């Protein structure tokens, strides 16, 4: 379920079901994103531009933002970019359309960092190969 955290200049939302526990948010902006604090996201703890830049690095789309100050809204790159990682998954950035067998169309909104992606240790990934499970994640 997606929850919304509203600040004066920017609103950030989070869906734990989508989070892949990469930890970009927690490592890059600990004053805004703090795993065990409630609320765990404080959108007034940094500028809207700084928060938007971090949210855009969230590779899963678990984090999204909406500007309340008239700033540029979040957009995925067009066309979509798919980057194979060595021994790893595909990183998909941008809007992807999937056509089902019955002809219906599903639109996916994956986002991922555009530069070389390294998995770093973070509060949600204390060992590189073992992210925190969703069951253990204290965020809601
Ligand atoms: S996928 Fe990574 S950056 Fe996005 S919310 Fe989860 S831990 Fe934060």
Structure confidence at residue 98 (pLDDT):
78
- Give pLDDT tens digits for 15-56: 999 998 989 999 999 999 999 999 999 999 999 999 999 999
| Secondary structure (3-state) at 111 | coil
Find the 60 Cα to ligand 1 centroid distance in Å: 7
The full set of domain ranges for the chain reads: 2-115
Q: What totals of helices (H) and strands (E) does the chain contain, helices first?
A: 2, 7
- Kindly provide the b/e burial profile for residues 91-110, where b requires at least 16 CB atoms within 10 angstroms of the residue's own CB: bbbbbeeeeeeeeeeeeeeb
- What is the Cα–Cα distance from 90 to 82, expressed in whole angstroms? 6
12 CB near ligand 1 (under 6 Å): no
pLDDT reported for residue 38:
96
Alpha-carbon distance of 120 to 18, in angstroms, equals: 19
State whether the beta carbon of 24 lies less than 6 angstroms from ligand 1. yes
pLDDT at 88: 64
Task: Tell me how far the alpha carbon of residue 25 lies from the centroid of ligand 1, in angstroms.
Answer: 6
Looking at residue 86, its pLDDT comes to 67
Instruction: Find out whether the beta carbon of 132 lies less than 6 Å from any atom of ligand 1.
Output: no
Q: Is the CB of 63 under 6 A from ligand 1?
A: yes
Residues of the chain with pLDDT under 50: none
Task: Enter the CATH code of domain 2-115.
Answer: 3.30.70.20
CA of 38 to the centre of ligand 1 (A): 17
* Pocket flag, ligand 1, residue 21 (CB < 6 Å): yes
For the CA of 33, the closest atom of ligand 1 is: 8
- How far is the C-alpha of 52 from the C-alpha of 47, rounded, in Å? 9
């Amino acid at each position: 379920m997606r929850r919304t955290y509203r600040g004066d200049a920017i609103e950030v939302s989070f869906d734990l079901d989508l989070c892949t526990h990469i930890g970009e948010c927690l490592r890059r902006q600990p004053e805004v994103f703090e795993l065990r604090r409630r609320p765990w996201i404080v959108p007034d703890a940094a500028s809207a531009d700084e928060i938007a830049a971090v949210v855009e690095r969230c590779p899963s789309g678990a984090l999204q933002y909406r500007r309340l100050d008239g700033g540029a809204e979040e957009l995925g790159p067009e066309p979509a970019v798919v980057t194979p990682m060595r021994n790893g998954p595909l990183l998909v950035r941008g809007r992807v359309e999937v056509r089902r067998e019955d002809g219906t169309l599903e639109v996916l909104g994956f986002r991922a960092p555009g530069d070389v992606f390294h998995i770093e240790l973070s509060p949600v990934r204390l060992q590189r190969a073992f992210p925190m499970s969703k069951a253990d994640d204290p965020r809601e």
